[in-house]
Amino acid sequence: MFSFKKNYNLFGKITLSIIKPDAVEKGYSISILSKIIDAGFHIIALKMMELSKKSAFIFYEEHKEKYFFDSLIEFMSSGPIISSILKKENAVKDFRILIGDTNPINAKKGTIRNLYATSLEKNAIHGSDSNKNAFKECQFFFPIEKFYYK
């Protein structure tokens, strides 16, 4: 298992990204990954996969009381996604800036959601919202003991 203690030196320097099913389906994955790399993030883990409904439920459990939850679970398990761990100083904060507002209507010009999102739900990409959640989410997708990165 990925260990928080063994990877304490990465705390504050990693975030979890998910290119969501809408963006993968439309063929935006490589353009989005290029944008992420150009912004100075190092991809230290990467995989393409499909989420089961159960996994999507667990991942977004904090929203389980919200009116959009069932639809969100349906959407996130509707097709392939690309999840990755990104490393950079201030990774969480800087990545949230790069992806833009949750609602693409409010996302600043040039942000990933501004460029590639379709709607408030189908908003192309996920980014962790705190350093603590980043570690939890990285562990969820990549349950490995150690990230090999110089």
Residues that bind ligand ATP (CB under 6 A): 63, 68, 72, 102, 120-121, 123, 126-127, 129
Catalytic residue flag (residue 63) = no
Residue 33 has, within 13 A of its CA and on its CB side, a CA count of 17
Provide the greatest CA pair distance for the chain.
43
β-bridge partners, 41: none
Cβ atoms of 92 and 137 within 8 Å: the answer is no
Catalytic residue among 14, 126, 127, 135: 126
Give me the least distance between CB of 81 and ligand ATP, in Å please: 11
∠ Cα 81 84 87 (to 5°): 160
84 binds, among ligand ATP, Mg ion, none (CB under 5 to 8 A by kind): none
Give me the least distance between CB of 4 and ligand ATP, in Å please: 21
Nearer residue to Mg ion within complex by CB, 30 or 105: 105
Residues annotated as part of the active site: 126
